[in-house]
Amino acid sequence: MNGFTKLIMLISTLVLMIGGGFSFYLTYQGYQPVAPINTSEDGIAIDGFDAVAYHTAGTAQKGVANFQVTWAGSIWYFTSLENRQFFSANPEKYVPQFGGYDPFGMAMNGAAQPATPELWAIKDGRLYLFYSGKTRTFWQENALENLKKANIQWNRIKQQILYKAEMEKGR
């Protein structure tokens, strides 16, 4: 074996090792469980917007710290005591679907893309928050099929969250 062949084999081996390690890293990163609710670093859900106001007032309204409740490990802000009470009585009715992550990203590849609370829609009494106007448009173009896909992906993510919680209990 001459020097040139050895050099080519060495380079090939390095490319395979680096490429394989990088691909493992990307795969591992893609399957990291996310938080069940899209929250800020200080634990506030949906950027402090009032989840009830979307349903009752038909607008995106920023809540205040004076009217808050902790639910599902997140702090939820409301614009009024009445909205806080509505939420406390039936949170599942008001929380955004897919934990407040963009439903189109969820449908396409299970991406937990944080949504923008000002970009929203209510369909069949359920709140959806979107990352951008484009993802909202794409979602609405084929909402039924997108909803099926997003539910499959969200169920997978919730299973990962539960698995991670169980593993941490066992430590």
CA distance 116 to 89: 25
**β partners of residue 69:** 76
Give me the pLDDT at residue 167, please: 82
Other C-beta atoms closer than 10 Å to the C-beta of 147 total: 20
Q: What is the per-residue pLDDT across 43-89, written as a single tens digit (0 to 9) for each?
A: 999 999 999 999 999 999 999 999 999 999 999 999 999 999 999 99
Q: What is the per-residue pLDDT across 80-129, written as a single tens digit (0 to 9) for each?
A: 999 999 999 999 999 999 999 999 999 999 999 999 999 999 999 999 99
Give φ, ψ of 116 to 5 degrees.
-100, 115
106 to 7, 48, 162, 170: CA distances (angstroms): 45, 22, 18, 30
Q: How much is the pTM?
A: 0.78
CA distance 45 to 14: 45
Report which residue type is found at 82: E
From the list 65, 80, 83, 128, the residue with the least C-alpha distance to 102 is 128
Domain boundaries, the chain: 35-95, 96-171
Position with higher pLDDT, 133 vs 28: 133
Look at 27-41, 86-100, 126-140 and tell me which has the smallest mean pLDDT.
27-41
The dihedral formed by the CA atoms of 18, 21, 22 and 23, expressed in degrees to the nearest 10: 120
Look at 2-11, 12-21, 157-166 and tell me which has the smallest mean pLDDT.
12-21
